[in-house]
Amino acid sequence: SSFAQYLGYDEIMVEKLTIAANLHDIGKFIVPLEILEKPKKLNSMEFLTMKSHVYYTKLILKQIEGLEDIAEWAGNHHEKLNGKGYPERLDENSLTKEDQIIAFADIYQALIEDRPYRKGMAPKKAIDIMKNMANKGYICNRMLGDFKQLVL
């Protein structure tokens, strides 16, 4: 929510983006625990199962009237500007700024938090990895500049 505030969103949009950020992985309830907590690299079938969580996130949230935009933002958090994300391979022409904000939060959180297969990274290292992603066209370089100002 502080990133949305930093970007100048009004109170209602900050609330909606906060809800989307908090619910973006709700689809992981469908993914078996042994996949979610696996300490080693996932095999191709496990990875496909893990990737399905974004589909279920969107499906679950779209059931709630009034959360249609939140469902889109939360369900698009693994899409990339260059069209190499999933599940729909959307690109910069199809992704909203709000989609990108949720994606930024997800990427940063995934890098700095401990995972079953590795320890969390320092914020500076996480931003360096995100810079590399921006250079490859996955995420917005300009938005990364704003994000970096906020977290470092």
28 is catalytic: yes
Residue with tokens 């959360």: 67
Whole-angstrom distance, CA of residue 27 vs CA of residue 55: 7
Of residues 28, 38, 131, 148, which has the active-site annotation? Answer: 28
Write b or e for each residue in 68-78: b if 16 or more Cβ atoms lie within 10 A of its Cβ, otherwise e: eebbbbbbbbb
Query: How far is the first Cα of the chain from the last one, in angstroms, to the nearest whole number?
Result: 16
Annotated active-site positions, please? 28
